[in-house]
Chains A and B, each alone.
Chain A
Amino acid sequence: MNQTASALGKDLVGLESLSRQQILAILDTAEPFKEISERRIKKVPVLRGKTIVNLFFEASTRTRVSFEFAEKRLSADTVNIAAAGSSVSKGETLVDTARNLEAMRIDMVVIRHGASGAARFLADRIPSNVVNAGDGSHEHPTQGLLDMLTIRDHRGPIDGLKVCIVGDVLHSRVARSNIFGLLKLGAEVAVCGPPTLVPRGFRDLGVEVFTRVEDAIQWADVLNVLRLQLERMEAGYVPSLREYNRVWGVTNARLEKAPKDILILHPGPMNRGVEIDSDVADGPHAVILNQVTNGVAVRMAVLYLLAGGQPEKAEAAKQGGDT
């Protein structure tokens, strides 16, 4: 594969810097990759010989495992580095980590880091492809992509759909990637939550702001419900989790009043009974497990494209053909 001809550029740091065409190319490329995970033998040789490091400075199970499956099903050689127990936790700086990785001649790095901008920082300093698996409150582009793929699977083209992100938008990288990506694909986007966690400033990004979840439910075709971190309550952004559920929780009682059939997404892990009630999470509107399944396909598509694969050749590549 040709390293220089990637349809995405060298890295995937966020969706803000991608064009509508690039986002659609990723979603379209993910389609043929979905089928690999349904096979009895879930492995194709697309990334054979490529070395990928999953560099996780923050704890993550879902995202790391999803990336790891995507990499392994494409036959890449992978190494996982978790911050705890590594030199990272012994005070090694991000720049030293970057230089060490570079010295080991790896092909790609998937990075999760608690600081906004960490993925860009790494991408600017090493020749390897860098995939952002979440940087602080900035972006989580593969989550945004898998959300969009899931919405498209269930509601068709994104253009004109009304999508509302509910919860701790202020601190959410998932929210930002959704906002940037959905707007590029022509959706109307809103955010909803307590004003302490949904500042008015988000209007300047071109999104509607609701402070009452009932209003969001009246408006939306799709709700993407964010996890409320316990630490937000401890920091005083909301007085209690119980009150949060009473005022902003997505419940069946509230959904019953919706004028349309609303699709419910959640990036996980869920706090059942806080931001989402179990009867909603397990109910007919929810596509939360479809999101998880799509996560692997989207990440395969991203890795394939960054490695120089062409979107239109994904089907052939899957069969072991040259790309």
Chain B
Amino acid sequence: MSAKTVLQGGRVIDPSQGLDGVHDVLLVDGVVAEVGTALSVSEDARRIDCSGLVVTPGLVDVHVHLREPGGEHKETIASGARAAAAGGFTSICAMPNTDPAIDDPATVGYVVAQGRLAGAARVYPVGCISKERKGERLALIGEMVEAGAVAITDDGSPVMDSGLMRLALLYAQSFGIPVADHPEDLTLSGRGHMNAGLVSTRLGLPGKPNAAEDIHIVRDLLLAELTGGHIHLQHISTRFGVESIRQAKARGVHVTAEASPHHLVLTERAVEGYRTEAKMNPPLRTEEDVAAVRAGLADGTLDTIATDHAPHHYDEKEAAFADAPNGIVGLETALGVVLTRVVGEGVIDLPTMVERMSCQPARAFGLPGGTLAAGSVADVTVFDPEAVWTVDPARFRSKSHNTPFGGWQLKGVVRYTLVGGRSVFEG
């Protein structure tokens, strides 16, 4: 007997097929069988009433830190995969800055195996660009891809050696994977703990200037142009960075780029009072930068929304600002923040949100999903776009609660997350 689920009467938004209307979605044996109106379904199918709800291809987050191996007190692959499912994500890409780093096929295989065991969102490992993330020599990129890596990055420690970055962008082309980079010139930002600006001046905290990010963005774009490789630029936060990517795309450079929910809605002012839950890298910047990131998201310069989910144990953030680690969790607030403050404020419409949070990231990283086309994997997110909830970090599925969004009232509640046709979260 085959496993059938039918999602009935929801607003189905699938930009990959130009679809936006009230339809039924039939899932059979882990794949999408049909999207249509008033589908006749056999008695044995599970029926899910989706009237008043939005049905989309499962959300995809190409930038999360799951901390395993080595940081299991912050997050595990299982807890991260469950947090993802609760946030409406059906696929997530795990960054390799673990301990040990994900820089060889064995560690890639471990992440794949733990991801399968978790039985929640699909977990795709991203391997290192360089051995031990030292920025010196290429890691075993081909073998890691064979073991399941979907991209490479030294995220967290940007590749400072332009020659190595050039090699990575060349070598990765054999495997059709993107080279993802955290653009930051450490010689300019190394001492900084927040954006360089008025707030850092007042608080007496060393700052990271926009130029530290801009220089690396421009370098990476030039190297992608030189090599023909695919550069994926992570968490863009500066106005000049957005403009540089816009121009590079117009020139035909193979670049994809992320905006993080927090860089779309928060400024450096969130750090006031030395709030470590607003400490992240790249830092929160100014109103002008937020406006530029929003404009970039709207016109597709920034084609992907990614959370940079970065769990930290509470006592690591309970410290003087300079001593606290960078990063915030994002998997369980991303949809609400984007729906409320980005879609809700008219920056993008709902179909564009689905494009940026599902279709495009799946395409950029070559992942199954990101579409409800017949025959594709039955990864589906169903959410109520109007339901209001208050963010209570204590209720996160993630093991960590470090968020600047605690207490925020958000619109958008995930009702069902289905992976391969199987319900992995119901809320």
Contact = CB atoms under 8 A, between A and B. Distances in A.
B315 interface: yes
A95 B203 contact: no
Contacts of A115: 320-323
Interface string A85-99: 000000001110000
Contacts of A202: 201
Contact of B198 (A120, A139, A201): A201
Q: Do most interface residues of chain B lie in helix, strand or loop, or is the interface mixed?
A: loop
Given A93-B315, A138-B205, 8 more contacts: A95-B318, A115-B323, A120-B274, A136-B205, A137-B205, A139-B204, A176-B204, A201-B197
B322 A116 contact: yes
Contacts of B323: 94, 115
Contacts of A93: 315, 318-319
A93 B198 CA distance: 29
B204 A136 contact: yes
B315 A201 contact: no
Nearest to B196: A201
A95 B202 CA distance: 24
A121 B320 contact: yes
Contacts of A16: 202
Nearest to B322: A115
B273 interface: yes
A202 B273 CA distance: 19
Nearest to A180: B202
Contacts of B202: 16, 176, 205
Contacts of B320: 94, 113, 115-118, 121, 136
Interface residues of B, number: 18
Contacts, number: 60
B336 to A, nearest CB: 28
Contact of B319 (A94, A173, A205): A94
Contacts of A38: none
A204 B274 contact: no
Contacts of B201: 199, 201-202, 204-205
Interface of A: 16, 93-95, 113, 115-118, 120-121, 135-139, 173, 176, 199, 201-202, 204-205
Given A201-B201, A204-B201, A116 B315 contact: no
B205 A116 contact: yes
Given A113-B320, A115-B322, A115-B323, A121 B315 contact: no
Contacts of A205: 198, 201-202
A139 B321 CA distance: 15
Contacts of A137: 204-206
Contacts of A120: 273-274
B334 to A, nearest CB: 28
Of the candidates A115, A202, A204, A205, the one having the most CB atoms from chain B within 10 angstroms of its own CB is A115
* 3 cross-chain pairs, A with B, having the tightest CB-CB distances, nearest first: A117-B274, A115-B320, A138-B204
A229 to B, nearest CB: 15
A302 B135 CA distance: 52
B319 A136 contact: no
Contacts of B319: 93-95, 121
A178 to B, nearest CB: 13
A144 to B, nearest CB: 13
Interface string B291-323: 000000000000000000000000100111111
A237 B355 CA distance: 48
A120 B319 CA distance: 11
Given A93-B315, A138-B203, A173-B204, A117 B198 contact: no
